Amino acid sequence: MKLALVGIGKIAVDQHIPSIAASDQWELAATLSRHGTLDGIDSYTDFDTLLNTHPDIAMVSLCLPPVPRFEYAAKALKAGRHVMLEKPPGATLAECHALTKLAQDNGLSLYATWHSREADKVAVAKAWLADKTLLSLKVTWKEDVRRWHPNQDWIWEPGGMGVFDPGINALSIVTEILPVDIHLRDATLMVPENRQTPIAANLAFYHPRGAEVSATFDWRQVGDQIWTIEAVTDQGTLTLLDGGARIMVDGREDALVDNNPLSGEYPRLYANMAALIACGGIDMDLRPMVHVSDALALGRRVAVDPFHD
């Protein structure tokens, strides 16, 4: 199937383009970006022109920041194209619901991708936790914003989500591996006094069976980067490390083996999208985004030092 890639920024270049090139299911037929082009691929700056010129493009994959994404997604669906959304799937929950309805009304596939769910050890962690009693779960997501988001002003603007941009990856794993739904009960958001979005956040969740569930996100980490989820159960402790790439049970690494034949988060996302189209499906799991929305609604804001890139 032919696809168009919209928003040629960091993630498009780092992950989408190599994953599409390596896929035998997808062919990159066009790109849209106001500044970026790709050698040998039709490049556009106007989306209507792209859609009108390429009626054979079946799917549009959107790698823009969340705020401008809705208009592109809606336009693509109205033009009869399937749509794949980078995380987070939109700037607001209401616009995500509107996209779901548009896809349903037009008989098209729509996929809210959560790349961290495709990390190697997430499926085995989910299977291991399924028959255990959870006592506590602690997320620690600490990274250096200057290293991962250099000069990306949109993350500091309303809708950019700040530290929840990576934090939502952790929440996408938590909502995938826990057998029951949790909801936010308390949050503190550290917001630089010259910015609109948090640089750090502490979250506490209600768990229906009484487990203590918490998350710490921090973008001020220098040195070692930490993306860890530790789940203590009645039958041992499971730790996901490096954002789900590694797993330990009671301190023993690789006690659990994954059987996924396709390697890499983004190749799996593109394979999932092809499978979704083949069965006429829609996959819009908005639970990670609900937690972020709730934190932004419920969170107590604390002003912290200004942030300069």
Q: What crossing angle do the helices spanning 164-177 and 287-298 adopt, rounded to 10°?
A: 130
Which of 293, 11, 6 shows the shortest CA–CA distance to 152? 11
Whether the CB-CB separation of 175 and 229 falls below 8 Å is answered with: no
CA distances from 77 to 106, 107, 111, 306 (A): 7, 9, 12, 40
For residue 181, the one-letter residue type is: D
Question: How near is the Cβ of 58 to ligand NAP at its closest, in Å?
Answer: 22
Residue 268 CB neighbours (<10 A): 19
Decide whether 159 or 236 has the Cβ nearer to ligand NAP.
159
Residue 2 bears catalytic tag: no
Decide whether 7 or 288 has the Cβ nearer to ligand NAP.
7
- Please give the Cα distance from 42 to 4 (Å, whole number): 9
Decide whether 33 or 293 has the Cβ nearer to ligand NAP.
33
Q: Closest residue (Cβ) to ligand NAP?
A: 9
Which of 2, 10, 78, 87 is labelled catalytic? 87
- Please give the Cα distance from 240 to 232 (Å, whole number): 12
Which of 287, 305, 258, 262 shows the shortest CA–CA distance to 114? 287
Decide whether 79 or 232 has the Cβ nearer to ligand NAP.
79
Question: How near is the Cβ of 59 to ligand NAP at its closest, in Å?
Answer: 17
Residue entry with tokens 């690494």 = 253
Decide whether 35 or 300 has the Cβ nearer to ligand NAP.
35
- Please give the Cα distance from 84 to 273 (Å, whole number): 7
Question: How near is the Cβ of 28 to ligand NAP at its closest, in Å?
Answer: 16
Length of the chain, in residues = 309
Whether the CB-CB separation of 93 and 293 falls below 8 Å is answered with: yes
Question: How near is the Cβ of 33 to ligand NAP at its closest, in Å?
Answer: 4
Residues of this chain that bind ligand NAP (CB under 6 A): 7-12, 33-36, 63-66, 68, 86-87, 115, 148, 152, 165
Residue 25 CB neighbours (<10 A): 15
- Please give the Cα distance from 75 to 145 (Å, whole number): 32
Decide whether 30 or 134 has the Cβ nearer to ligand NAP.
30
Question: How near is the Cβ of 63 to ligand NAP at its closest, in Å?
Answer: 5
Q: What crossing angle do the helices spanning 93-106 and 287-298 adopt, rounded to 10°?
A: 150
Catalytic positions, please?
A: 87
